[in-house]
Structure 1
Amino acid sequence: MKIYKVLNNNAAIIKEDGQEKIVMGPGIAFQKGKNDTIIRKKVEKIFTIHEENEKFKQILETLPENHIEVAEEIISYAEGQLSAPLSDHIHIALVDHLSFAIERIQKDLTVRNKLLNEIKALYKKEYEIGLWAIELVKEKLNIDLPEDEAGYIALHIHTAKMDAENMHTTLKYTTIIKELIEKIESFFDQKIDENSISYQRLVTHLRYAINRFESNEAFHVMDDDMLYFIKQKYPISYRCGVELADYLKTEYELDLPESEIGYITLHIQRLNDL
């Protein structure tokens, strides 16, 4: 395996089977140049260069090497924790985001993550990886990233999962849920405890309800007698559920069936029972 071009100490371009490929591994290109040999067993990742990876090549050439190393360590840790490979795009998206976040901190600029509470509830495992990541940045780079960044890292990791929706869709869903939570808080004129299990269950239920629209899945049907009982037993929570449904229809053209309003009513009532 011969080097075609050195990108940094840990990455180089090779030509193999008529294709340019990016190879990565700790120190594989240190003090090496064109036509020098790389030992294959030291290579940890290989990417065939196509249009998207051209950006990755530019990142490897221009961003600080220690930023790239930390991002790659986070990706490897995430794949281990999730027991699944992440898409190649994560090597562009996370490296780029992390380096920019570090640059902002060094300039005393902070960006608040308004979706943090919803991210915690919806993507718990990815959020825990995000917390681990900001600790790693502190350890390796002596940079204190805020908790908000754990949320952003969680989103990047979630959307890199092979069966996940893209970042635009993820942000859309999370934003809708945040708006619905704010509607509930406004309706009852009280703040919801984001650490409660009832809040987490509500957020998760709303997430899957919205997803059913996008994937054209059928909603669970509630027995008519049960729906009647809910309306009579919890009229205020049901009225709140109806307002949420009206909002989704008006703002997003998402038309909730009445049985789904019933299920949401039960989740809203659990919040008020605490």
Structure 2
Amino acid sequence: MLKIAQVLNNNVALVDLDNQRQAVVKGKGIAFQKQRGDSIEASNVEKLFYLETETSRQNLYFLLKDIPIDVVTTTYEIIDVARRKYHINVVDYIYITLSDHVFGAYKRFREGTYLDSLVPDLHEQYLNEYAAAYTALSIINNDLGVGFPRSEAKNIALHFINAIGQSSEEQRFGEAKEATVSDLVQEVLKRHGILRSTSNGNYYDRFMIHLQYLVDRLQHSDKDATVIKPRIVAELEGSYPRSYEIASEIFDEIRKNIYPEMSEDERLYFVIHIQRLITESPIGNG
């Protein structure tokens, strides 16, 4: 028997486990007419997602303020599969960024405004992350009743790639360097007239979250990892010249002033984040 800590809806609840752990459980009608302190039969649970850290629990409550529970549980399932089946070690902030992305894509799909992903194909360098992304795509289409194209997997894979790092309990962020990187980036963006606004707020915040974890990612990066192929970088430069210019300015300043050994991979991530911020259309595609 599992004791309910909070009913999230008729089919989803937060439950207390042993050793002061909690988990999200999902099953048809498992929380119907139940309340905090009531029990749920373990045999009625169809899916269970552990909340291993305090950060993951805080993320859950943060997400539930703005994102439907079905989208949140779908995201938790995706991350759980990525960790267990594909052994992808991601930091906890992916719960927020991926949930936000899935919800945004879901709304655009329902409104008929969804567009195929313009993210470059990096599967040759990130086979595991792409395999997890294609599984995630099947989970999303099944759980949320949508029909995203296969190209959506590139967006999902990028979230896994961006969030690769150590678990929350292992992270030791260099807070001073975090602040320095964020200040530097915001100053460059400001010079190019890019400020946070209502229209770009989600993408701006996502970029800032990426930067918060940049320090940790660089400190624990695999020096032997495959670098993004020059062909892909050249394609981005040709398709998104303004984004590439701004991203390169950020990349060069961080490399010069903070991390001389920063990988070229980060330049690509910066281009993609900035392209979303300024919604620059690919040359030749209108």
TM-score (norm 2): 0.49
State the identity as a percent. Answer: 25
Report the counterpart of residue 149 of structure 1 in structure 2: 152
Which of 158, 163, 178 pairs up with 2:161?
Answer: 158
Structure with the largest fraction of helix = 1
Report the counterpart of residue 110 of structure 2 in structure 1: 106
How many angstroms does 1:13 deviate by?
4.0
Whether contact under 8 Å (2:13, 2:26) holds in the other structure is no
Structure 1 residue 70 corresponds to structure 2 residue 74: yes
Report the counterpart of residue 176 of structure 2 in structure 1: none
Rg larger for: 1
Q: Which residue identity does 2:71 align to in structure 1?
A: H
C-alpha distance in 2, partners of 1:255/1:72? 36
Report the counterpart of residue 6 of structure 1 in structure 2: 7
Given the superposition, is the C-alpha separation of residues 39 and 48 from structure 1 closer, same or farther in structure 2, using an over 3 Å criterion? farther
Q: Number of residues paired by the alignment?
A: 192
Q: How does 1:156-235 map to 2 (within 5 A)?
A: 156-163=159-166, 167-168=210-211, 169=214, 177=228, 180-181=230-231
Q: Which residue identity does 1:138 align to in structure 2?
A: N
Whether contact under 8 Å (1:11, 1:60) holds in the other structure is no
Instruction: Give per-residue Cα distances to partners, 1:48-104, cap 9 Å, x unaligned.
Output: 684663341243465334333433332233234313565444333323321221111
C-alpha distance in 2, partners of 1:16/1:135? 29
TM-score (norm 1): 0.51
Report the counterpart of residue 33 of structure 1 in structure 2: 35
| Ranges of 4+ aligned residues in structure 1 off by more than 6 Å | 15-20, 248-251
Q: Which residue identity does 1:3 align to in structure 2?
A: I
Given the superposition, is the C-alpha separation of residues 114 and 252 from structure 1 closer, same or farther in structure 2, using an over 3 Å criterion? farther
Report the counterpart of residue 274 of structure 2 in structure 1: none
Which of 52, 57, 81 pairs up with 1:53?
Answer: 57
How many angstroms does 1:255 deviate by?
7.3
Q: Which residue identity does 2:98 align to in structure 1?
A: L
Instruction: Give per-residue Cα distances to partners, 1:5-56, cap 9 Å, x unaligned.
Output: 2122454345679979453343543432122113467583332684663341
The CA RMSD measured in Å over matched residues stands at 4.5
Given the superposition, is the C-alpha separation of residues 124 and 54 from structure 1 closer, same or farther in structure 2, using an over 3 Å criterion? same
Report the counterpart of residue 122 of structure 1 in structure 2: 125
Structure 1 segments unaligned to the other structure (5+ residues) = 190-247, 257-274
